Amino acid sequence: MEYVLTTKSLCKKYKDFKALDHLDMHVPKGSIYGFVGKNGAGKTTLIRLITGLQYPTEGEYLLYDTDSRDPKINKVRRRMGAVVETPSLYLNLSAVDNLKQQYGILGLPDYSGLQELLKLVGLEDTGKRKVKDFSLGMRQRLGIAVALVGRPDFLVLDEPINGLDPQGIIEIRELILKLNREYGITVLISSHILDELSRLATHYGFIDHGRMVKEISEAELSAACRKKIRVKVSDLAAFSRVLEMLKLRYEIVSDSEADIYDEIAVTDLVNEANTVNCRILTVKDQDESLESFYLNLVGGGADHD
């Protein structure tokens, strides 16, 4: 698999505090990578390192196979656009003039593609209206447009829907999906709104106390979180024969429990179990969400900024 970003034992230390502790991370090319962690877990620190705003204490990272210590890394970073924390915008300028400022910063020879960018983020009709009069969602979309100046193929977004109203969230979601599916842009999203992230991400990285706890694809996560019923029985061997006879998909999880992945009425299950002298002791529905999966990984409360 080809990776846009790889980190190897990446560390960032502030005096006695380790913000990143030997972090290993892999962002596949073409993915929407959801970066999940509690407040202070190290998400923004990672983003600051890869965008060149800060430097690692130890370890390394690769952008498109270029080592972070290679002098060419600054040139490679031109392939990456980022919105870190809140968009850096000129509030007294229009959307057009904000983009022109970024064109100038990057040393681009002309403004080709500027109107296309505005249309892409739905701001083509804002005219001379100043950014200070924009809604939060409009500012976020303009921030993404600024990050896309220079046509990067890797976009890094730090909490892109934080504070947005439902309509703003939908607009950002649709924009991210369009950038990924139609333009082939790889997207790394740090977010604490896990329900929304589950509508976007193709891959996930779960971070806790600066360490990567688990990386998993959306397909693997769906399999781990699929709806099931957990049945505890008096005789697992006999119960397994019943499940085989009924041609149900199941998994043995302990010496007395099995998970069933097909729908079946509990009364039918009890009746069939009785035919082999097996008693059903408990039946529990289990339909794990992204949030519960994450909390099971790292433990603790739901403070996952």
> In the chain, pLDDT over 70 holds for what percent of residues?
97
CB 261 within 8 A of CB 303: no
The whole-number pLDDT of residue 291 equals: 81
The whole-number pLDDT of residue 224 equals: 75
**210-261 pLDDT, tens digit each:** 999 999 999 888 877 777 889 999 999 999 999 999 999 899 999 999 999 8
The whole-number pLDDT of residue 139 equals: 94
From the number of C-beta atoms within 10 Å of its C-beta (0-12, 13-18, 19+), residue 29 rates as: middle
Query: Please, what is the average pLDDT of the chain?
Result: 91
**121-134 pLDDT, tens digit each:** 999 999 999 999 99
Q: At what angle do helices 266-274 and 236-245 cross, to 10 degrees?
A: 120
Give the mean pLDDT of 263-289: 89
**21-39 pLDDT, tens digit each:** 999 999 999 999 999 988 7
Q: How far is CA 185 from CA 89, 129, 301, in A?
A: 23, 29, 34
pLDDT band at 305 (very low <50, low <70, confident <90, very high): very low
3 state DSSP class of 54: coil
Give the mean pLDDT of 66-90: 92
Q: Which of 89-93, 147-151, 160-164, 278-282 has the lowest mean pLDDT?
A: 160-164
Q: What does residue 169 show for φ and ψ, rounded to 5 degrees? A: -65, -45
Give the list of residues 6+ apart from residue 282 with CB closer than 8 angstroms, or none. 230, 231, 232
pLDDT band at 98 (very low <50, low <70, confident <90, very high): very high
3 state DSSP class of 6: strand
pLDDT band at 8 (very low <50, low <70, confident <90, very high): very high
| CA-wise closest residue to 153 among 114, 118, 179, 120 | 179
The more confidently predicted of residues 94 and 302 is 94
Encoded tokens for 185:
């842009």
**46-69 pLDDT, tens digit each:** 999 999 999 999 999 999 999 999
3 state DSSP class of 213: strand
The whole-number pLDDT of residue 288 equals: 66
pLDDT band at 302 (very low <50, low <70, confident <90, very high): very low
Over 90: is that where the pLDDT of 195 sits? no
